[in-house]
């Protein structure tokens, strides 16, 4: 019997657009004559939860549990129930008629977020400003309901993650196993109902979950647990970014009560081998980069040499079949750069595989997704862009590279202009000197509206220690070139890097302030420095004056970093509105 595969993206990832992993693998398997449906369980669950019928059940559940946090939401529950369907439909379609309705004084309940809405925001003139203002108010309304759900019904609930705290804090499988023994929450029951409908509709015998982030792990395990209970003949496979980084030292067999295969790194080769194995065409020892259970022991099957599928030879991602009408555009922060992560539909596509620089000391440079750099041609890339537009009807693209190569961006821009193909796009870069005025200009002409990049620390000493290959003067010049061409810039920064002093932190803040003042950057975000075992810092901590604490975990291969030098104050966000 030929294996029938179903791909699932578990809750929760982005809600404004589709996560690309299943589309990439669907495109690959279908050129091997394996038809694959895929389900974005993330958006399916979200739109099932934010419906009037479910909210009714949710308020009843909160009362039954005796939970009364956010009493003003409970007091106005009839208004939340009666308005939610209209609000979600607006966040999906953005029509001007509903925007005016939402902005009427008596339409939305004035809950704990909306009663503190910033009324001094200067919205654009005309319909665009009205729609954006309504999006902002509608987002706050939805967030109020989300706050209530998390506080009263399901502590794991969040819009872009589920039970992330378990995955990020677990030092073994014990805590995950404990929570999986509990009865499903109301949210999880809804998720499992959708899962059953998908399985009954497609009748697969292999269900594959992509787990890109910690906030997808528990939901994937809960789904897998349910599949094993209700559909014991179905095989389950896990893969994705979380597995690639955190499960590389997998030893605990208990996770295989829920899954049959856990693959590492690029999924094309391992997945095709799994299908051939289940079809009876190869033996289990022919699997590649895949954990299985044999004799109650975790065994890593990796036939050498691996089958190589080079980036330039892979087909375009196939997004067909995903419910683009269901995705919602949130507008929580009105900064025009920051909103791009939650607003509008974006086709996600990779220009190149891995990172062409692959030297940063804090990065997972030893892992395939960073260290294995592979490129393609501009002609091939634009061919893929045209196919994706045909599949989705969407002309916005987010190129999700670790660092998009400048040479490819120039070639891509020229090819887009040559074909007169009008798209809007943004991507992640390194602030290197190659981004001169001319390159930024041609990028803008081809449809580039924004770039993101790691400034990390505004200190030349620390940038050298990080092996970033840039300095502050260079970053200033490059960001100025982008600004001159009306391309927005978002900078990633970190605090608490090993040996960072208090004065260096203060100086960094001042440098960033000046970059904002000169309109070189439009948005920035600080995060606390951490390390992983796969980075140069994690592999040689003594060279960075830090001490690694914590065990090598049985299931979750994480590293906790203790900084012996200065730890900067927490700076959550810096944004220019």
pLDDT for res 556: 37
Same domain, 148 and 225: no
Distance of alpha carbon 514 from the chain centroid: 30
Query: Is the residue at 56 inside a domain?
Result: no
Beta bridge partners of 540: none
Q: Of the candidates 301, 320, 341, which is a domain's last residue?
A: 301
Out of 110-124, 524-538, 561-575, which region has the weakest mean confidence (pLDDT)? 561-575
548 pLDDT tier (thresholds 50, 70, 90)? confident
Query: Is the residue at 525 inside a domain?
Result: yes
Q: What is the 3-state secondary structure (H, E, C) of 437-464?
A: HHHHHHHHHCCEEEEEEEEECCCHHHHH
Mean predicted confidence (pLDDT) in 270-278: 97
> What's the pTM value of the predicted model, to 2 decimals?
0.92
Higher-pLDDT residue of 565 and 498 is 498
pLDDT for res 165: 81
Summarised one tens digit per residue, pLDDT across range 398-418 is 999 999 999 999 999 999 999
Query: Is the residue at 158 inside a domain?
Result: no
Q: How far is residue 551's CA from residue 161's CA, in Å, rounded to a whole number?
A: 26
Question: How many distinct structural domains can be found in the chain?
Answer: 3
pLDDT for res 38: 98
Among 356, 361, 351, 360, smallest CA distance to 372 is for 356
Phi–psi pair at 243, nearest 5 degrees: -65, -40
Same domain, 494 and 345: yes
576 pLDDT tier (thresholds 50, 70, 90)? very low
Q: How far is residue 3's CA from residue 273's CA, in Å, rounded to a whole number?
A: 12
- 74 has a pLDDT exceeding 80: yes
pLDDT for res 168: 75
- 551 has a pLDDT exceeding 70: no
Among 417, 356, 328, smallest CA distance to 146 is for 328
pLDDT for res 575: 35
Q: How far is CA 38 from CA 29, 32, 170, 271, 561, in A?
A: 12, 16, 29, 15, 38
- 310 has a pLDDT exceeding 50: yes
Q: What percent of the chain has pLDDT over 70?
A: 94
The pair of three-digit structure tokens given for residue 568, joined into one six-digit string:
């900067």
pLDDT for res 172: 77
Higher-pLDDT residue of 516 and 170 is 516
Same domain, 357 and 471: yes
Q: Of the candidates 152, 183, 200, which is a domain's last residue?
A: 152
Query: Is the residue at 192 inside a domain?
Result: yes
Long-range contacts of 557-563 (CB under 8 A, 24+ apart): 557/245, 557/246, 557/247, 557/248, 557/249, 557/250, 557/533, 558/171, 558/246, 558/532, 558/533, 559/531, 559/532, 559/533, 561/529, 561/530, 561/531, 561/537, 563/496, 563/498, 563/529
For residues 395 and 424, is the Cβ–Cβ distance under 8 A?
yes
pLDDT for res 170: 65
Q: How far is residue 87's CA from residue 51's CA, in Å, rounded to a whole number?
A: 10
Buried/exposed 273-307: b ≥16 CB within 10 Å, e otherwise: bbbbbbeeeeeeeebbbbbbbeeeebbebebeeee
Q: How far is CA 231 from CA 8, 236, 291, 438, 471, in A?
A: 16, 10, 22, 58, 56
Q: Is 221 helix (H, G, I), strand (E, B) or coil?
A: helix
Instruction: List Cβ neighbours of 393 (8 Å cut-off, separation of 6 or more).
Output: 324
Long-range contacts of 505-509 (CB under 8 A, 24+ apart): 505/566, 505/568, 505/569, 507/458, 507/459, 508/457, 508/458, 508/459, 509/458, 509/571
The pair of three-digit structure tokens given for residue 556, joined into one six-digit string:
């979750």
Among 351, 353, 417, 416, smallest CA distance to 386 is for 416
Q: How far is residue 372's CA from residue 402's CA, in Å, rounded to a whole number?
A: 11
Q: What percent of the chain has pLDDT over 90?
A: 86
Mean predicted confidence (pLDDT) in 80-93: 98
Buried/exposed 14-51: b ≥16 CB within 10 Å, e otherwise: bbbbbbbbbbbbbbbbeeeebebbbbbbbbbbbbbbbe
Query: Is the residue at 327 inside a domain?
Result: no
Query: Is the residue at 63 inside a domain?
Result: no
Same domain, 88 and 180: no
First and final CA of the chain: distance in angstroms? Answer: 58
Query: Is the residue at 481 inside a domain?
Result: yes
**CATH number of the domain where residue 296 is located:** 3.40.50.2300
Domain residues for the domain of 167 are 5-42+163-301
Same domain, 192 and 146: no
For residues 160 and 15, is the Cβ–Cβ distance under 8 A?
yes
Q: Of the candidates 97, 122, 152, which is a domain's last residue?
A: 152
DSSP 87-140: HHHHHHH--HHHHHHHTSTTTS---TTGGG--TT--PPSHHHHHHHHHHHHHHH
- 51 has a pLDDT exceeding 90: yes
Query: Is the residue at 310 inside a domain?
Result: no
Same domain, 242 and 356: no
Mean predicted confidence (pLDDT) in 413-440: 98
Instruction: List Cβ neighbours of 462 (8 Å cut-off, separation of 6 or more).
Output: 456, 497, 499, 500, 504
547 pLDDT tier (thresholds 50, 70, 90)? confident
pLDDT for res 171: 64
Same domain, 362 and 443: yes
Summarised one tens digit per residue, pLDDT across range 1-23 is 689 999 999 999 999 999 999 99
Same domain, 86 and 171: no
């Amino acid at each position: 019997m030929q294996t029938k595969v179903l791909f699932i993206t578990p809750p929760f990832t982005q809600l404004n657009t589709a996560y690309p992993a299943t589309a990439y693998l669907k495109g690959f398997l279908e050129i091997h004559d394996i038809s694959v449906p895929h389900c974005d369980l993330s958006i399916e669950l979200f739109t099932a939860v934010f419906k009037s019928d479910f909210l009714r059940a949710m308020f009843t559940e909160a009362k039954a549990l005796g939970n009364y946090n956010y009493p003003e939401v409970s007091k106005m529950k009839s208004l939340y129930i009666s308005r939610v369907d209209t609000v979600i439909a607006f966040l999906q379609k953005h029509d001007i008629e509903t925007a005016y309705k939402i902005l009427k004084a008596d339409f939305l309940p004035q809950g704990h977020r909306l009663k503190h809405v910033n009324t001094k925001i200067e919205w654009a003139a005309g319909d665009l400003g009205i729609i954006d203002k309504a999006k902002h108010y509608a987002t706050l309304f939805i967030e109020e309901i989300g706050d209530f759900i998390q506080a009263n019904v399901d502590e794991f609930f969040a819009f872009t993650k589920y039970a992330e705290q378990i995955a990020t804090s677990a030092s073994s499988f014990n805590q995950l196993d404990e929570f999986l023994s509990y009865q499903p929450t109301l949210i999880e029951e809804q998720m499992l109902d959708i899962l059953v409908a998908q399985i009954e509709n497609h009748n697969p015998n292999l269900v594959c979950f992509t787990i890109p982030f910690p906030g997808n792990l528990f939901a994937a395990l809960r789904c897998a647990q349910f599949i094993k209970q209700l559909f014991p003949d179905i095989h389950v496979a896990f893969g994705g970014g979380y597995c690639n980084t955190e499960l590389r030292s997998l030893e605990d067999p208990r996770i295989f009560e829920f899954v049959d295969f856990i693959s590492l790194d690029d999924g094309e080769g391992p997945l095709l081998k799994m299908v051939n194995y289940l079809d009876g065409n190869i033996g289990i020892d022919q699997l590649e980069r895949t954990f299985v259970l044999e004799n109650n022991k975790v065994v890593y099957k990796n036939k050498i040499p691996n089958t190589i599928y080079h980036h330039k030879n892979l087909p375009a991602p196939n997004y067909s079949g995903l419910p683009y009408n269901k995705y919602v555009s949130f507008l929580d922060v009105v900064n025009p750069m920051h909103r791009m992560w939650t607003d509008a539909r974006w086709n996600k596509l990779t220009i190149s595989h891995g990172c062409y620089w692959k030297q940063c000391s804090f990065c997972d440079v030893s892992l395939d997704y960073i260290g294995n750099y592979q490129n393609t041609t501009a002609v091939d890339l634009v061919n893929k862009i045209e196919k994706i537009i045909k599949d989705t009807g969407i002309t916005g693209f987010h190129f999700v590279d670790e660092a998009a190569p400048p040479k490819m961006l120039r070639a891509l821009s020229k090819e887009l202009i040559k074909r007169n193909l009008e798209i809007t796009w943004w991507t992640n870069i390194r602030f290197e000197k190659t981004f001169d005025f001319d390159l930024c200009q041609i990028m803008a002409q081809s449809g580039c509206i924004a770039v993101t990049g790691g400034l990390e620390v505004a200190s030349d000493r620390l940038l050298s220690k990080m092996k970033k290959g840039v300095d502050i003067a260079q970053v200033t010049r490059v960001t100025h070139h982008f600004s001159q061409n009306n391309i927005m810039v978002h900078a990633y920064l970190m605090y608490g890097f090993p040996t960072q002093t208090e004065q260096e932190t203060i100086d960094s803040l001042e440098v960033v302030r000046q970059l904002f003042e000169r309109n070189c950057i439009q948005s920035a975000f600080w995060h606390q420095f951490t390390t992983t075992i796969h980075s140069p810092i994690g592999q040689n901590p003594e060279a960075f004056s830090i001490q690694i604490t914590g065990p090598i975990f049985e299931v979750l291969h994480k590293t906790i970093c203790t900084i012996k030098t200065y730890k900067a104050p927490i700076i959550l966000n810096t944004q220019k509105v």
